[in-house]
Amino acid sequence: MPSSRPRLLLVEDDPGSHKTLLRLLTRLGFDVLSAMTVEEGLSRLGDGPGFLVLDLMLPDGDGGTILEKVRTDGLPIRVVVTTGVCDPARMGAIAALRPDLVLSKPFDLDDLLRGLGLAP
């Protein structure tokens, strides 16, 4: 039976951060799909997430590839990018892909929730 919980795709390669976010987002009521690489993230888009928490620096490439796929295909996914990237040119390219929010790591959970549309 399909879950009535909102589906969220978490793409984060740091094991500690991934585990912590997975637990928190599950407790907040999400059905969390898990990915730690660009390849896994792209393949999980087919599972119909309505939300995406996306790291940019992944072991097999640039997480921006996933955001680009979401926007190019017109997928109805709310995207929060979480990153340690500081390069202005790189961040300008990400901004052009229209994420709903970009958070610099480390980030505040309340900011993440606002980005997901769950808090004022």
The string of pLDDT tens digits covering residues 54-94 is: 999 999 999 999 999 999 999 999 999 998 878 888 889 99
How many other CB atoms sit within 10 Å of the CB of residue 85? 18
- Domains of the chain, CATH where assigned: 7-115 (3.40.50.2300)
> How would DSSP label each residue in 16-45?
HHHHHHHHHHHHTT-EEEEESSHHHHHHHG
Q: If you search the block for the tokens 């995406």, which residue do you land on? A: 52
How many other CB atoms sit within 10 Å of the CB of residue 9? 25
CA 65, distance to chain mean position in Å, is 12
Q: What is the pLDDT of residues 7-19, one digit of tens each?
A: 999 999 999 999 9
pTM of the full predicted structure? Answer: 0.91
The token pair that represents 27 in the structure block:
């407790």
